[in-house]
Amino acid sequence: MSDVTRRRFVTGGALALAWALPAPRRASAQSASAGPANAQLIEDLVAANRILVDQGVVDGYGHVSARHDRDPNRFLMSRSLAPELVTAADIMEYDLDGEPVNSRGRTSYLERFIHSEIYRARPEIRAVVHNHSPSVIPFGATGVPLRPLYHMSAFLADGVPVWDIRAAAGDTDMLVRTPALGRALAQALGTRAVVLMRGHGAAVVGTGLPQAVFRSVYTEVNARLQAQAMALGGTVTYLSAEEARRAEASIGGTLGRPWELWKRKALSR
Ligand SMILES: [Zn+2]
């Protein structure tokens, strides 16, 4: 028997054995890697981490991920690390169960299921941010709806739902630490850009990293401005649905401008 034939034979035997065995408890733990991600995507993901710090959206906590360019059933996110410290070497690959494909002893963010379940629910989404963006928190806790006060936050016009973890799981430590909680959050997000998490923070999505980062930044700014406008005591006028539609279309074509600026600053350190 030639080496090649023998190898084929052995492989076939292993396959037959695999069929005879009960299915592994979690097939994902044995998932093969989708292969190396695009270097530009990794660089953008590192930049996104630092930009979100620079813009006051994340601090020592919070995370950002990107869907893998080679496999829609995989996404990329740093190991458990403060966003400011993330480098390319810290980026890990995850499957849509939120399990690392090859952890090599590295620890994962507890709330990685926010990302995995949103990617599962929203095929068009290619980047997800989870943050504890400070100005946004009061809108998750008071019942006052977050609404687009100006053109930069027109993407809020579809409504910003508030997800209350208590409705899904009673009293918890507030963390989305299971796939079931991630699913409940993704359901609350629906087709929108942002979902607030009562007493915790927000999840923000985009069709790419620049959009998810842009939306995270301007959700924070809008929340700050809206609170200021409401404190002035007059009647606050928000963008109409049609204004928001037009503004989003216009601004959408210029995302590259702030992105390039933010990225250059973030990577120059
Ligand atoms: Zn969190």
pLDDT tens by residue, the chain, 269 residues? 344 333 333 333 333 333 334 344 444 445 799 999 999 999 999 999 999 999 999 999 999 999 999 999 999 999 999 999 999 999 999 999 999 999 999 999 999 999 999 999 999 999 999 999 999 999 999 999 999 999 999 999 999 999 999 999 999 999 999 999 999 999 999 999 999 999 999 999 999 999 999 999 999 999 999 999 999 999 999 999 999 999 999 999 999 999 999 999 999 98
What phi, psi does 67 have (nearest 5°)?
Answer: -70, 140
In angstroms, the CA 179 to CA 129 distance is: 17
**Residue among 135, 142, 115, 137 nearest 127 (CA):** 115
Interval between CA 194 and ligand 1 midpoint (Å): 14
pLDDT at 27 (0 to 100)? 44
pLDDT at 10 (0 to 100)? 35
**Residue among 214, 210, 169, 177 nearest 194 (CA):** 214
- CB contact at 8 A, 137 and 69: no
Per annotation, catalytic residue among 111, 117, 220, 248: 111
pLDDT at 31 (0 to 100)? 76
- CB contact at 8 A, 145 and 160: yes
- CB neighbour burial string for 226-265, b if at least 16 within 10 angstroms, e if fewer: bbebeeeeeeeebbeeeebeebbeebeeebeebbeebbee
Interval between CA 40 and ligand 1 midpoint (Å): 27
pLDDT at 30 (0 to 100)? 53
Interval between CA 129 and ligand 1 midpoint (Å): 10
Q: Which two tokens stand for residue 100?
A: 């690392």
Interval between CA 139 and ligand 1 midpoint (Å): 16
Q: Which two tokens stand for residue 222?
A: 């809008």
- Return the residue matching tokens 């190898």: 7
Active site residue 111: yes
- CB contact at 8 A, 60 and 41: no
Neighbours of 150 (CB within 10 A): 15
Interval between CA 111 and ligand 1 midpoint (Å): 7
The residues near 179 (Cβ < 8 Å, ≥ 6 apart) are 97, 98, 113, 116, 117
pLDDT at 11 (0 to 100)? 36
Total-model pTM? 0.89
